[in-house]
Amino acid sequence: MMVFQSTIIAIAMCFVIGSFSPDSIAADTRKVFVALTGDDSNNGSSTSPVQSIYRAQAIVRQMILDGLEDDVEIRFAEGVYQLNKTVEFGLEDSAPGKLQITYQAAPGARVVFSGGFQLSNWKKDRRGFWETSWREPGEFSPRAVSEGRSSVPRQMFIDAKRGIRARDPDTGYFRVRQALGDFRTEFRFNSNQWTHSGPTQGMELALLHDWSISRVRVKEFNLENSTVKLAERVGGPHDFFRINGFEQDPRFFLENSVSFLNAPNEFFFDREQNTVRVVLTAGENPNQMEITVPSLATLVRVAGAEAEPVRGIQFSEICFSYSACPLPTGGYGGIQASYFENRLVPAHLRELDPETESSHLRLPAAIEVSFAEECGFEESRFSHLGGGAIYFGRQTNDCFVKSSQIEDVGGCGVMVGETVTRKGRNGRSLVCRGNVIEGNQISRCGQILLGSVGVWVGIARQTQVMSNEIFNLPYSGVSVGWQWNDRPSGCEENSICNNRIHDIMLELSDGGGIYTLGRQPGTVLRGNYISNVPSNHGRAESNGIFMDQGSSGILVQGNVIAGTKCSPMRFHLAGQNTLKENQCFHPVGVEPLKFNNTPEVNIKTIDNLFQIEAPSEALPGSGR
């Protein structure tokens, strides 16, 4: 009983099976009923519910084949529905005409789609650690990003709270003393701060660049001369991603060594012994707790075809939880916003990926949508996720995420668009269009990939990011654009309006509450309230709004920026933009507008207010 009670408190889950009320059902809408107490041999009626989403999906497909003429609702009774494979929605699931097919919780029910499984049979070892054998269930094989991806468990959730992959230091960071050799795979550390003497097998080093992170394997330590050698190089392809490319003494920490296992809620995966160990506080017993390990990298995938999008599939009041984060073989060299370098092919043979037409890769999101129209998520929850929460990718049009909560995500919260501009046969741009991210609460993204953002909009047009609260992030709140120059692209007419963005840039630098890249004619940043942006932790400033290389054609109007330690707005190699009727509060001695290699004449200012702000610990209502 303790297990279920703690879970209800943490993420509103439980196994109490709700009952359906036929009296509350609209007579003009078709229904399929799902309950954990049901049976997949049933017909899906209110009195004979099926047990799984897979069976419900099959029933709906048959309805479509039979000539569906009404909207369909698939109603789930209360409970945690464990997914043994990614739920795939294709053209056979598409709603005909203007109909809608909605997967939703029954009234008042708490419904969870889970990609994780429970660890059990814990025993204490001779050192006092709790330990259990690791055997990944066959039905829970993670969907790899590509061939060679690791299935090593790198996330654990203890009563629905994210555990800590055994790390050193327990909090904060070490500092590089001196980069050596190729400046990518070797450095000297301060021996008075760290005298590690444990095994290196499976150990991972995380190095913080200004706006991204690298995660690579440790090869060896030399305690005599205080050096570390890495099995893979850090950083992306550009020279500034070398160890000392931004700072001479960048921050780093290490993970996944048994010698780091010393603090409550830390866990360690022992590949040699095929065991998992965890440290708990005195009196806690994991056999009386829910210890969950995510396995599926993607929980739900919606994908039509280039010639025919899937349409009209929606989800309401569902909680999507526990997706895996399988990092790539060859190391993770972050580039920006959780995109990373493709190291699966030698550089001299590296071609654009046939799917993304980019040399950059990204980790899979829990929700993947492509070749889709009028699909979306409303009043739902996305929590305890790995590579990312939601991705609206190739030719995703008029889709939405509304009135939902996104929290505790390894990568980005919501991603819209691509890193390229696609062209049709007639030369018309085929970029994502008309997607809406509205009224959501987005927080604690970037838990594994620190360079992630709350909402990322790449090459896309007419995207609306509006009335969201975005906060508690290691890097930027909203990022718009994906081209480091002023050349035309398919990125245009995006609206970032009326959002409350606060307590961001908590770990990295060179970003802001809103960050822009590239030419974006018709893009508007309007009515946003941005607050509590600390001083930069790396070399470059952190700001309220940062318009980076090529940013042009953008109207910045009616925003309020307060509580920034550096300039409220900054411009770097930016083109022509307009600032109108903004209020910027800045500390004494700090410029309200900072121009980095941007001619001031490029930034047209109209009726803005720039005012010195009195020092304060926090603005009213900020911080959580």
pLDDT tens-place string over residues 258-268: 999 999 999 99
Contacts of 425 (CB under 8 A, 6+ apart): none
Q: How confident is the model at residue 422 (pLDDT cuts 50, 70, 90)?
A: confident
Same domain, 256 and 124: no
pLDDT-based confidence at residue 616 (cuts at 50, 70, 90): low
Q: Is residue 495 part of a domain?
A: no
Q: Where are the beta strands (DSSP E) in 238-330?
A: 251-255, 266-270, 275-278, 291-294, 300-303, 310-311, 313-316, 319-321
CB distance 350 to 341 below 8 Å: no
Given a cut of 50, is residue 446 above it in pLDDT? yes
Of 270, 257, 236, 315, nearest to 74 by C-alpha is 315
Using CA atoms, how far apart are residues 110 and 623, in angstroms rounded to an integer? 28
Q: What band does 22 get if pLDDT is binned at 50, 70 and 90?
A: very low
229 lies in the same domain as 121: no
In this predicted structure, the answer to whether residue 580 has a pLDDT above a threshold of 90 is yes
Residue 46 CB partners (closer than 8 Å, separation 6+)? 20, 22, 25, 31, 33
pLDDT tens readout for residues 518-544: 999 999 999 999 999 999 999 999 999
Instruction: Indicate the burial class of 225 (C-beta count within 10 angstroms; 0-12, 13-18, 19 or more).
Output: exposed
**Is there a contact between 311 and 372 (Cβ–Cβ < 8 Å)?**
yes
Burial of 504 (0-12, 13-18, 19+ CB in 10 A): buried
Residue where a domain stops, chosen among 215, 244, 260: 260
Question: Using CA atoms, how far apart are residues 299 and 389, in angstroms rounded to an integer?
Answer: 10
Note whether residue 187 is domain-resident. Answer: yes
What's the whole-number mean pLDDT along residues 64-92? 96
Candidates 380, 336, 331, 325; CA nearest to 358 is 336
Q: Considering 219, 235, 260, which residue would you say is the last residue of a domain? A: 260
Same domain? 567 vs 515? yes
pLDDT value at 597 more than 50: yes
Q: What is the pLDDT of residues 45-72, one digit of tens each?
A: 999 999 999 999 999 999 999 999 999 9
- The pair of structure tokens assigned to 273 is 């012994």
Q: d(Cα 29, Cα 66) in Å, to the nearest integer?
A: 16
pLDDT bucket at 615, cuts 50 / 70 / 90: low
Would you state the pLDDT for residue 143?
A: 41
pLDDT at 2 over 50: no
Q: Which residue has the higher pLDDT, 181 or 358?
A: 181
- Tell me which long-range contacts 279-286 makes (C-beta under 8 A, separation of at least 24): 279/129, 279/130, 280/130, 280/158, 285/122, 286/119, 286/122, 286/130, 286/132, 286/158
* Rounded CA separation 321/381 (Å): 8
pLDDT at 201 over 90: no
Determine the residue type at 156. Answer: M
Same domain, 159 and 206: no
Please give the pLDDT value at position 105. Answer: 98
Name the band, by pLDDT with cuts 50, 70 and 90, for residue 224: confident
Q: How confident is the model at residue 345, as a pLDDT?
A: 61
Peptide bond into 364 cis (omega under 30): no
**CA atoms of 74 and 105, how far apart (whole Å):** 8
| DSSP β-ladder status, 213-222 and 227-230 | antiparallel
Of 433, 444, 580, 573, nearest to 494 by C-alpha is: 433
Same domain, 223 and 282: no
**CATH number of 245's domain:** 2.40.30
Does residue 270 fall inside a structural domain?
A: yes
Mean pLDDT confidence for 237-251: 94
Which H helix or E strand runs over 53?
helix 53-65
Better pLDDT: 287 or 136: 287
User: Strand pairing of 543-547 and 512-516?
Assistant: parallel
User: What's the mean pLDDT in 272-280?
Assistant: 91
Domain-embedded: residue 281: yes
- Top-confidence residue, 17 or 103: 103
Does the structure show a pLDDT above 60 at 552? yes
Question: Coil, strand, or helix at residue 331?
Answer: coil
Whether the per-residue pLDDT at 514 is higher than 70: the answer is yes
Q: Which two three-digit tokens encode residue 191?
A: 């021996």
What's the rounded Cα separation, in Å, for the pair 328 and 60?
37
Candidate from 174-183, 425-434, 500-509, 519-528 with smallest mean pLDDT: 425-434
Number of domains in the chain: 3
The pLDDT value recorded for residue 581 is: 98
Q: Indicate if the pLDDT at residue 427 is higher than 80.
A: no
- Asked if the model's pLDDT at residue 558 lies above 80, the reply is yes
The pLDDT of 464-472, averaged and rounded, is 98
pTM: 0.91
The answer as to whether 30 is a domain residue is: no
Kindly report the average pLDDT of the chain as a whole number: 89
What does the DSSP assignment read for 536-589? -SSSS--EEEEE-TT-EEEEEES-EEEEESS-SEEEES---EEEES-EEEE-TT
Say whether both 127 and 233 belong to one domain: no
Tokens of 15: 């196994």
| 515 plus 600 within the same structural domain | yes
DSSP 483-546: -SSSS--S-B--EEES-EEES--SS--S-EEEEE-SEEEEEEEES-EEEEE---SSSS--EEEE
Does 519 fall in a domain? Answer: yes
Measured distance CA(371)–CA(385) in Å, rounded: 23
Identify the weakest region by mean pLDDT among 79-93, 146-160, 185-199.
146-160
Residue 360's pLDDT is: 81
User: What confidence score (pLDDT) does residue 1 get?
Assistant: 35
177/283 same-domain check: no
Instruction: Provide Rg for the chain, Cα atoms.
Output: 25
Contacts (Cβ under 8 Å, ≥6 apart) of 191: 223, 226
Q: Minimum mean pLDDT among 144-158, 345-359, 372-386, 471-485: which range?
A: 345-359
Claim to verify: residue 134 and residue 181 sit in the same structural domain: no
Q: Write the secondary structure of 233-262 as one string of H (helix), E (strand) and C (coil).
A: CCCCCCHHHCCCCCCCCCEEEEECCHHHCC
Instruction: Examine the domain organization and report whether 577 and 484 are in the same domain.
Output: yes
CA distances from 115 to 403, 530, 605 (A): 23, 35, 50
pLDDT at res. 471: 98
Whole-number pLDDT of residue 441 = 98
Closest to 356 measured CA to CA, from 335, 344, 332, 339:
339
- List the single range of 16-25, 292-301, 450-459, 479-488 with lowest mean pLDDT: 16-25
Res. 428: pLDDT tops 80: no
Contact 162, 384 (CB under 8 A): yes
Q: What is the pLDDT of residue 137?
A: 55
pLDDT at 277: 95
Question: Model confidence at 29, in pLDDT bands (50, 70, 90)?
Answer: low
How confident is residue 564, by pLDDT bands cut at 50, 70 and 90? very high
Domain contains 255 = yes
What token pair was written down for 8? 């209800």
The model's pLDDT over 342-382, given as tens digits with 9 standing for 90+, comes to 887 655 555 555 544 556 889 999 999 999 999 999 999 99
pLDDT reading at 475 higher than 90:
yes
Enclosing H/E stretch for 213: strand 213-222
Cα dihedral value 278, 281, 284, 286, nearest 10: -10
Residues 160, 188, single domain; the answer is no
Of 387, 401, 404, 393, nearest in space to 369 by CA = 393
Residues 506 and 529 in one domain: yes
Q: What is the pLDDT of residue 346?
A: 58
Does some domain include residue 315? Answer: no
Structural domain harbouring 135: 116-139+150-166+261-293
